[in-house]
Amino acid sequence: MVNNILKAPEGSPSDVEDIKEKSDYLRGTLKEVMLDRISAGIPDDDNRLMKHHGSYLQDDRDLRNERQKQKLEPAYQFMLRVRMPGGVSTPAQWLVMDDLSQKYGNNTLKLTTRETFQMHGILKWNMKKTIQEINAALLDTIAACGDVNRNVMCASNPYQSEIHTEVYEWSKKLSDDLLPRTRAYHEIWLDEERVAGTPETEEVEPMYGPLYLPRKFKIGIAVPPSNDVDVFSQDLGFIAIVEEGKLIGFNVAIGGGMGMTHGDQATYPQLAKVIGFCKPEQMYDVAEKVITIQRDYGNRSVRKNARFKYTVDRLGVETVKAELENRLGWSLAEAKAFHFDHNGDRYGWVKGVEGKWHFTLFVEGGRITDYDDYKLMTGLREIAKVHTGEFRLTSNQNLIISNVTSQNKDAISSLIEKYGLTDGRQHSALRRSSMACVALPTCGLAMAEAERYLPVLIDKIEDIVNENGLRDEEITIRMTGCPNGCARHALGEIGFIGKAPGKYNMYLGAAFDGSRLSKMYRENIGEEEILSELNVLLSRYAKERNEGEHFGDFVIRAGVIKATTDGTNFHHE
Ligand code: SRM
Ligand code: SF4
């Protein structure tokens, strides 16, 4: 039901709209091109569709120049992203992902900032086998990327484990119910026969329609006081409201997102605004109607301005709320009070309900692999073999070995010790509060290093932190290789966005609890300048901060940077 007063932006549809329209509900020619042995790649149109099946064609950028010189096609390989709502994996699923990464991937697993697994380096000929084995393990990759609702995140905080269980169930339900209905995935990857299409039997997408959404769409559920999922960065955020130990419902927040383009002020990170409260059983209805508003009024002409945050800002949050209530046929209740303390993880052992234990492991950059001196992957494999609970992948790229029984705790603890798996305690709190996106060598959009460089930069920042007595001070630091913001850079108290090899824009002033965006402090600077800036700022912080004051708040109070009060003033004073 389209409101005739509201309008979508005018302009001819972008090329991706055209590709989706002609794709026969996301089929395109994927089935055929995946069989072609002449190239290890696939045509661009099919690659656009491939995203809806949870994968991207990439090439190893470390090898790009050399292969070009040798007149070889790029070292094509695929990235595969699993859809795993709430980041919960069973030990058996962990073992399958581990095994697949050895057989078909690059011997690593990436724990992403949206609580799931990515595998890198899969060759075209191994894609189908990999996807089939993932499905056999009761996981899938449907809609993990593309212009649809993505992996639904939920708080992984082990402190309130009874609430976690409930909230996780809702995130699973949202994720499942908001899936595309096309059988394209099953036909292409799982050899399902297509049912002959007649107007009655042919599938339709009751919610998405044949063009799907104008852009990706993301949902996250937070459980205060932890804002680990960065709920305000989501297109649609739900904030759990717990009264007397019971989940009574969720505040609803709309219109967040992190991506932007360097030099284009019409693009900006934005925080979602809280518009009301709904009961748990109303959540799906709210999500579905919000999605259809974006479907109908999102920008299908300019992809850079197609995210829901721009729809909300263009139409106005009150107008979108009124349209939502119109579509729902009922009104949201008034938002309830809530309070967030932080957006990071809490490490080490914690006892939850029913005598179960949870161990949050620090995983730098979210990369699971065997390093020369740190057999992280092997250690986790051995744990998965004896673990009877679950693994929870966190939105800060860490891992919780979760729901460990008291009987099993000693066995798991000794494996943790044997393999030196760390809760990060030997590092500075700054490192434990760090996050970096994948960037080079696999990400085709990276302008600079992130995952491979941030740990090296932090080695040097740790010297400054130690000199100033700040080793135990949690300061969130995030780096992305480009302004797309995959590590939610604009919500790091110290943020870096890649501009060119070795060069970054530096951002300051985000809130420790994820409720305020940062602002650019220095443009296009290299390591030397980064360290000298941080030397001054961190030593001032050590001397001049108020009791309990976080770094992001300090730089604003000290006049180092103006607060960003809304995404629309992210680029201005
Ligand atoms: Fe992202 C595109 C990796 C979370 C905003 N992201 C990409 C691609 C697929 C590059 C591409 O389009 O060719 C990256 C693949 C790199 C690789 O080699 O693996 C990529 N994004 C990631 C991951 C793996 C980063 C990580 O180190 O963990 C995260 C996977 C999440 C998941 O499991 O689904 C990841 N991406 C995010 C987040 C954070 C979040 O969602 O909480 C954001 C910012 C929030 C948001 O969406 O606003 C994010 N990714 C983007 C964007 C910018 C979207 C925009 O609004 O402009 C792109 C580019 C695009 O869509 O055109 C992008
Ligand atoms: Fe790639 Fe940019 Fe996302 Fe980093 S922020 S993974 S460089 S798209």
Over the chain (573 residues), the average pLDDT of each successive run of 10 is: 77 96 96 95 96 96 93 96 98 98 98 98 98 98 97 87 89 97 96 75 84 98 96 98 95 98 97 98 98 98 98 98 98 98 94 89 98 97 98 98 96 98 94 98 98 98 98 98 98 98 98 98 98 98 98 98 97 86
Please check if 443 is assigned to a binding site.
yes
Query: Which ligand is closest in space to the CA of residue 109?
Result: 1
**pTM: predicted TM-score of the whole model, two decimal places:** 0.97
Residue to mutate, 396, 484, 496, 517, ligand 1, most ligand atoms under 8 Å from C-beta: 484
Strand order in the sheet with 494-500: 434-436, 477-480, 494-500, 503-508, 519-525
What is d(CA 161, CA 389) in angstroms, rounded to the nearest whole number? 13
What is d(CA 540, CA 521) in angstroms, rounded to the nearest whole number? 16
Residue to mutate, 83, 260, 486, ligand 1, most ligand atoms under 8 Å from C-beta: 486
> How much distance in Å is there from the Cα of 175 to the middle of ligand 2?
24
Residue 444 CB–ligand 1 contact under 6 Å: yes
What is d(CA 146, CA 152) in angstroms, rounded to the nearest whole number? 14
Residue 442 CB–ligand 1 contact under 6 Å: yes
What is d(CA 286, CA 267) in angstroms, rounded to the nearest whole number? 26
Please check if 482 is assigned to a binding site.
yes
Closest residue by Cα to atom 14, ligand 1, is 443
Residue 55 CB–ligand 1 contact under 6 Å: no
To the nearest 10°, the Cα dihedral for 533, 534, 540, 546?
A: 130
pLDDT at 353: 77
pLDDT at 203: 66
Query: Which contiguous run of DSSP H or E holds residue 414?
Result: helix 406-418
Q: Are 401 and 88 in contact (CB under 8 A)?
A: no
